[in-house]
Structure 1
Amino acid sequence: MKTLILFSTRDGQTREIASFLASELKELGIDADTLNLNRTDVVEWHHYDRVVIGASIRYGHFHPAVDRFVKKHLAALQALPGAFFSVNLVARKPEKRTPQTNSYTRKFLLNSPWQPQSCAVFAGALRYPRYSWYDRFMIRLIMKMTGG
């Protein structure tokens, strides 16, 4: 059994979650590879018997590469058992941590041609000192608007 864990990350948190998931699977005796789908065009699907995709939100949207990847590889994704996880700051609130209550994840699932069998939502990291002045300003604005 071998699992492919694809991730789309902007600040590295989704990569860290994907790596943690891979290490947990390996402890269970399940081989796992991680790939950054923003930088991956070719996937050797025949090596895998399941797939996980993780993606982060920035300013209300997943990276456009996520949608492109899903559309390009739809047949392969549909042929394997699949899971999806979303990483976003809205999930810092307990009532926004499920696929049903997290608007970003719900919207993705409603609009995506790929329908994974399993889905999860994780709170992202807020690495405030690393951000540009514009990003810090936008984060403050979003936090104020969302009551965070």
Structure 2
Amino acid sequence: MKGLVVYGTRYGTAKEIAEEIAKTLKNENVDVSLFNAKQIKDHGISAYDLIIVGSGIKMGKWTKESKNFLKNNQNILSNKKVALFVSCGAANTEKSMAEGQEKYLDNISKEYLINKPIATGLFGGIYDPNANHGLMFKFVNRFIKKEMEKEGKDPNQRID
């Protein structure tokens, strides 16, 4: 079996998840190719049996590269086994996971895929206090640190 894992990332979390998915598939003797959605423009995907597409979420949106990959390959994907995943920092409770599943995966599936995906995955984000995610992160980070301290976690450490 040949598998393809395609990801779109802004800060690297979706890439880490995609790498782990590819590693897991390789351990199951799947011949796997891994691509950033920015770099897969002319790569033929018809030879793959399984195609996994994922993205980080920012402000409720997939990366444009991942969405473009789905859009540009709709016809081929309609005849393939497809799985979807997202990485979302807000996916940290059972309720937000369920809401995120519908919002971030089901809606994308309905928009870009003819068939229902064989699997979906919603992964939480990585908290990295040293990352430079812009002004909004700096603002929200103060609240995140307080919550982490309440939970007994060190807000100065990278946490997955």
Unaligned residue ranges in structure 1 (runs of 5+): 144-148
Which residue pairs with 1:71 in the alignment? 71
CA distance in 1, matches of 2:133, 2:26: 37
Query: What is the TM-score normalised by the length of structure 2?
Result: 0.77
Contact 1:128 1:136 survives alignment (8 Å): no
Unaligned residue ranges in structure 2 (runs of 5+): 145-160
Count of residues paired in the alignment = 143
CA distance in 1, matches of 2:52, 2:99: 15
Aligned-residue offset at 1:142: 9.0
Which residue pairs with 1:82 in the alignment? 82
Q: Deviations over 1:47-88 (max 9, x none)?
A: 311100011101221112222221111111112111001110
Q: How do residues 127-146 of structure 1 correspond to structure 2 at under 5 angstroms?
A: 127-137=128-138, 139-140=140-141
Contact 1:50 1:81 survives alignment (8 Å): yes
Which residue pairs with 2:150 in the alignment? none
Aligned-residue offset at 1:100: 6.9
Q: Deviations over 1:74-112 (max 9, x none)?
A: 111112111001110121112222477553334323433
Contact 1:98 1:121 survives alignment (8 Å): no
CA distance in 2, matches of 1:113, 1:44: 18
Q: Deviations over 1:107-144 (max 9, x none)?
A: 3234334542221111011223211551423544996x
Which residue pairs with 1:117 in the alignment? 118
Identical amino acids, percent of aligned pairs: 20
Query: Structure 1: which 4+ aligned runs deviate by more than 6 Å?
Result: none
Query: What is the TM-score normalised by the length of structure 1?
Result: 0.82
Which residue pairs with 2:13 in the alignment? 13
| Equivalent position SS for 1:26 | helix
CA distance in 2, matches of 1:141, 1:104: 26
Tell me how large the CA RMSD over aligned residues is.
2.4
